Amino acid sequence: MATELTVQLVFFLMTLGMFFVILKYPKQALTKFRAKNRTTVQSGRHLAQATNLLDRARSIPHKAQSQAHAKNALAEAEKAISLSPRDPSAHIIKAMASDLMDRRSSALRSLDLALSPPCVKSLSGRARRDALIKRAEFNYATNRRRRIDSAVEDLVEAIQLCDDDADAESRALCLLGQCYEWKGLKESAWETYEKAIRIEPGLVMASQGLERLSS
């Protein structure tokens, strides 16, 4: 009799324990989901605001006003990053705002983060291509060999992601041609400019590159 009561008591306690586990964990999961969703929404708001401010900064000819909007865009992007550090879009917006404020080193660091794991996994092919081209532009502007080599790598990868976007491909090819010129690779530069012109006939930058090489 005592043994039977003990078994029943153990069974009752196990059932009660399972009930509390089932009751508790869904609530924890729901709470975690709500917190994550709230963070995502807040981050999205900051990112949208940063994007709008960046557009204003680019469209205003008055430098002081443009810089003010860029500064505010930078602040909003940083808020988005603090909430969603793995979101590459926030890092890219921060890079663009930093560039408008003439903070090229900061802009490069932000693009490096956007194009590195884990952020890069969330980038679409087009967004990744555009970020690679922009980083190549920044690196080319430094006028340093190591940076030029990095720009070449980025542009070669970006061109592979252009698909049927003739404008993006010709832009990347022109910059790649300039990099080859800087490195003294005249034949590679010539071929690259010619390819750009085949894609977009009459492209001024490519034509100017060919003129420089033929002089």
Distance CA 47, CA 87 (A): 10
Q: What's the pLDDT at 29?
A: 47
**What does the H/E/C string look like for 105-127?**
HHHHHHHHHHCCCCHHHHCCHHH
**What does the H/E/C string look like for the chain?**
CHHHHHHHHHHHHHHHHHHHHHHHHHHHHHHHHHHHHHHHHHHHHHHHHHHHHHHHHHHCCCHHHHHHHHHHHHHHHHHHHHHCCCCHHHHHHHHHHHHHCCCHHHHHHHHHHHCCCCHHHHCCHHHHHHHHHHHHHHHHHHCCHHHHHHHHHHHHHHHHCCCCCHHHHHHHHHHHHHHHHHHCCHHHHHHHHHHHHHHCCCCHHHHHHHHHHHC
Q: What's the pLDDT at 50?
A: 94
Model confidence pLDDT, tens digit, residues 3-48 = 555 545 555 556 655 555 555 555 554 455 455 567 778 888 999 9
Residue type, 195: K
Q: What's the pLDDT at 215?
A: 85
pLDDT less than 70: residues of the chain = 1-37
Distance CA 8, CA 32 (A): 36
Q: What's the pLDDT at 33?
A: 43
Q: What's the pLDDT at 161?
A: 96
Domains of the chain as residue ranges with CATH: 1-123 (1.25.40.10), 128-214 (1.25.40.10)
Residue type, 12: F
Distance CA 88, CA 117 (A): 10
Under a CB-based contact definition with an 8 Å cutoff, are residues 54 and 93 in contact? yes
pTM over 0.75: yes
User: What contacts 80, CB < 8 A, 6 or more positions away?
Assistant: 43, 44, 46, 47, 50, 87, 90, 93
Among 181, 177, 171, which residue's Cα sits nearest to residue 194? 177
